[in-house]
Structure formats: structure tokens, C-alpha cells
């Protein structure tokens, strides 16, 4: 898994920095990706990556401000011309359904795939399948705004082939049962217990992607133990009052949330147009004073999210 930042600017695009969007690549076996926010120009940014619109599965919108949504109608329309036939689901605050349906209706855009739109009415789990759970919680901004916590479910441990060979277990139906975590009886009546021939399960990854926010408790709750926390840092450390006035955060606010959450890595993004590209490393350094594992996102930066496997005892 990895995340590519398609736009890292706040409010409006500037030279070298598009407005907010990021693409989360899911495990290779799934072969799809999710999009978080869709500011103007997102589809143009996607064309500079290896992501294909036909492989887009879900879109999570944090809030309805234009720098997070103006790219939606064009992107959804282009997907229909890019071979996309599988369903797409869009999640977002109340109003996202009207925004999308009105845009598509007025432009007489007909999609060749199923589009589902789910407005988030309350905090909690908004999506779950056999591989992931996504939880949404409201943040502190000028309009309703959500942050998302993506939790990958644990992967079953591998069978110990040497131990099974020693027990005289050959590949076949018994292997299948044990792989599912089920005990199995051998033809001679002996029992083979799954927990004795399987390695420990491998924990899943946790990715937290926040929308625009001033400091609040949900930035911490959503980020608890996250392998990667994506937190806005619209302003530098010397502008805390201005940040909070407009419902935003500083570099220090982001770092404080990461520390309190016990996150493993912090990526700051959503930078005000007052900051040039050459200023971003200084912004990251401000956060590193409190949280050393900090990166400042740049457009088209891809950050790997490796699975952390605890060593066996």
C-alpha cells in the first residue's frame, strides 16, 4: 500500500501545487485505489501517476469546500470514458449528493457505471468489507468536515510446512482447513490444531486522513496508533491564532496530534499559498521538533505504507 498526494495546497492552486486530493493504493491483490478529496485538476494529476481511473473504487470527501470537491464532476465523467464499468461509491457530508447529481444533470452527463452516493449522517463506521474498516468522525472547521480512519484487518499467519510435514500432513483438504484456522482430524484419528501449526496473525495497517481542522480531540482519536497520519498544516507555527480563526492548524498543532495519538509517521499537507515550495522543509522542521517522523507532502509525492511484521519470539 502507498499514498500519492495529488494536491497539497489550500484554497486555490498555485504554481507547482494543486488543491487537495490524495490516492490510497490498496494491496496488490485487490488492484484498486481510493481517492480522498477531489479538488479541481485531480484527474489531471492522476494522469501523471500509475493509477487508472477504471480502477477507482471509492471516493471519500472530507467537506464541501471547492478546493476539495470542484474536481468531482469532471473526474466521474472521465471515468466513464476511461473504461470504468465497476461501481463507484462516494462518501461525504450532507450536500455531497446534491452537488454531484446537480452537476451531472445540468451537464447531461450519463455515466456507464453505477454511482452510489452515501451522505454521512453520524460518526462511526461508514464502510466495512472482509479487508478494511473505515470510520468517520467530525472535525473542527467552518463547515461540517470529517476525518477518516482506515483500518486493515489482520492477515492470517502462514502454515508451518516443516511442522506439518513432520506430522505427516500432505497438501490437500486438511491444509485448507488449517489455513482457515480450523482444527483438522487426520485419517488415523490424530487431531491437528491450527494454532499449533500456524504462525501468528499479521496485524493490518492503520491510515488516518484528516480534512481541514483546527485542534480537536477527534484528530487524536482517529489517529491512535496510525502507521500514517495525514494532517493539515495550513499555517506555520507562528500563526496559531490565525489558523484557529479560520478552522485550520499549524505545523505544531499537527505534530501535537501525532504525539498524542502515538502515530508512527506524520505527513503534513494543505499549505497556504503564502508558502513557497522552498518553505516546505522549514515547515516540516517545525513539526519535527515535537514529532521527528514528519514529512511535508509535495504534489505527486508517494509515501509507502509497509506492513509491520513483528518478529517471532
Q: What is the pLDDT of residues 90-128, one digit of tens each?
A: 999 999 999 999 999 999 999 999 999 999 999 999 999
Q: How many domains does the chain have?
A: 2
182 and 273 co-located in one domain: no
C-alpha–C-alpha distance, residues 80 and 113, integer Å = 7
Beta-carbon count within 10 A of 119 CB: 14
- Residue found by looking up cell 489531471 in the block: 44
Query: How open is the CA angle 11-15-20, to the nearest 5 degrees?
Result: 35
Residue 67 catalytic? yes
Average pLDDT value over all residues in the chain: 94
Query: Which DSSP state fits 264?
Result: S
List the domain range (segments joined by +) for residue 236: 2-155+202-304
63 and 106 co-located in one domain: yes
Selecting among 67, 188, 279, 285, the annotated active-site residue is 67
Instruction: Answer yes or no: is 26 within a domain.
Output: yes
Q: Where are the alpha helices (DSSP H) in the chain?
A: 42-46, 66-69, 72-81, 96-106, 161-166, 173-179, 194-197, 217-223, 240-245, 251-261, 280-288
| Residue 212 marked as a ligand binder | yes
pLDDT per residue over 27-74, tens digit each?
Answer: 999 999 999 999 999 999 999 999 999 999 999 999 999 999 999 999
| Phi, psi of 129, deg, nearest 5 | -140, -165
Residue 141: per-residue pLDDT: 98
pLDDT per residue over 164-190, tens digit each?
Answer: 888 888 778 888 788 777 888 888 888
| Residue 141 marked as a ligand binder | yes
140 and 181 co-located in one domain: no
Residue 28, C-alpha cell as written in the block = 496488490
Residue 140, C-alpha cell as written in the block = 473542527
Residue 311: per-residue pLDDT: 41
CATH number of the domain encompassing residue 135:
3.60.15.10
Helix, strand, coil fractions of the chain, as percent rounded to 5: 25, 25, 45
Beta-carbon count within 10 A of 66 CB: 13
185 and 250 co-located in one domain: no
Instruction: Answer yes or no: is 76 within a domain.
Output: yes
| Phi, psi of 2, deg, nearest 5 | -155, 170
Q: Is there a contact between 2 and 302 (Cβ–Cβ < 8 Å)? A: yes
Instruction: Answer yes or no: is 37 within a domain.
Output: yes
Instruction: Answer yes or no: is 277 within a domain.
Output: yes
- Of 143, 173, 197, which residue sits at a domain end? 197
Q: Where are the beta strands (DSSP E) in the chain?
A: 2-7, 21-25, 33-36, 56-60, 88-92, 115-119, 124-128, 132-138, 146-152, 184-185, 191-192, 206-209, 228-232, 266-269, 294-296, 302-304
Residue 111, C-alpha cell as written in the block = 455515466
C-alpha–C-alpha distance, residues 66 and 64, integer Å = 6
Residue 136, C-alpha cell as written in the block = 468517520
100 and 231 co-located in one domain: yes
297 and 272 co-located in one domain: yes
Instruction: Answer yes or no: is 312 within a domain.
Output: no
| Residue 63 marked as a ligand binder | yes
Q: Residue 128's beta-bridge partner residues? A: 133
232 and 261 co-located in one domain: yes
Residue 244, C-alpha cell as written in the block = 484557529
| Residue 270 marked as a ligand binder | yes
Instruction: Answer yes or no: is 309 within a domain.
Output: no
Residue 157, C-alpha cell as written in the block = 499467519
Instruction: Answer yes or no: is 313 within a domain.
Output: no
Instruction: Answer yes or no: is 310 within a domain.
Output: no
48 and 117 co-located in one domain: yes
The residues near 174 (Cβ < 8 Å, ≥ 6 apart) are 184, 186, 192
The closest alpha carbon to 117, from 153, 74, 73, 151, belongs to 73
Task: Grade residue 309 by pLDDT with cuts at 50, 70 and 90.
Answer: low
What percent of the chain clears pLDDT 90, i.e. is strictly above it?
81
pLDDT per residue over 199-239, tens digit each?
Answer: 777 899 999 999 999 999 999 999 999 999 999 999 999 99
188 and 242 co-located in one domain: no
26 and 133 co-located in one domain: yes
* Gyration radius (Cα) of the chain, Å: 22
129 and 56 co-located in one domain: yes
- Of 144, 171, 197, which residue sits at a domain end? 197
61 and 165 co-located in one domain: no
Amino acid at each position: 500500500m502507498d499514498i500519492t498526494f495529488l494536491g497539497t495546497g489550500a484554497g486555490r492552486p498555485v504554481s507547482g501545487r494543486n488543491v487537495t486530493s490524495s490516492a490510497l493504493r490498496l494491496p496488490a491483490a485487490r488492484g484498486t485505489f481510493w481517492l480522498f478529496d477531489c479538488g479541481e485538476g485531480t484527474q489531471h494529476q492522476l494522469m501523471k501517476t500509475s493509477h487508472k481511473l477504471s480502477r477507482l473504487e471509492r471516493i471519500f470527501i472530507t467537506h464541501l469546500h471547492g478546493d476539495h470537491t470542484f474536481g468531482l464532476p469532471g473526474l466521474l465523467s472521465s471515468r466513464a470514458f476511461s473504461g470504468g464499468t465497476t461501481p463507484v461509491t462516494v462518501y461525504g457530508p450532507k450536500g455531497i449528493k446534491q452537488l454531484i447529481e446537480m452537476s451531472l444533470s445540468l451537464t447531461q452527463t450519463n455515466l456507464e457505471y453505477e454511482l452510489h452516493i452515501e451522505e454521512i449522517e453520524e460518526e462511526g463506521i461508514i464502510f466495512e468489507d472482509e479487508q478494511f474498516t473505515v470510520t468517520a468522525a467530525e472535525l473542527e472547521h467552518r463547515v461540517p468536515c470529517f476525518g477518516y480512519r482506515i483500518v486493515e484487518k489482520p492477515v492470517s499467519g502462514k502454515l508451518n510446512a516443516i511442522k506439518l510435514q513432520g506430522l505427516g500432513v500432505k497438501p490437500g483438504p486438511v491444509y485448507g482447513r488449517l489455513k482457515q484456522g480450523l482444527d483438522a482430524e487426520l485419517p488415523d484419528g490424530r487431531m491437528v490444531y491450527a494454532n499449533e501449526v500456524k504462525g501468528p496473525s499479521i496485524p493490518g495497517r492503520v491510515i488516518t486522513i484528516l480534512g481541514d481542522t483546527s485542534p480537536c480531540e477527534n484528530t487524536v482519536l482517529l489517529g491512535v496508533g496510525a502507521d500514517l497520519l495525514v494532517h493539515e498544516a495550513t499555517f506555520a507555527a507562528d500563526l496559531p491564532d490565525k489558523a484557529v480563526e479560520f478552522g485550520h492548524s499549524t505545523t505544531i498543532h499537527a505534530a501535537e496530534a501525532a504525539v498524542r495519538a502515538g502515530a508512527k509517521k506524520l505527513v503534513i499537507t494543505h499549505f497556504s499559498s503564502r508558502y513557497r515550495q522552498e518553505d516546505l522543509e522549514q515547515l516540516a522542521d517545525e513539526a519535527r521538533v515535537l514529532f521527528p517522523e514528519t514529512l511535508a507532502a509535495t504534489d505527486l509525492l508517494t509515501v509507502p505504507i509497509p506492513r509491520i511484521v513483528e518478529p517471532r519470539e
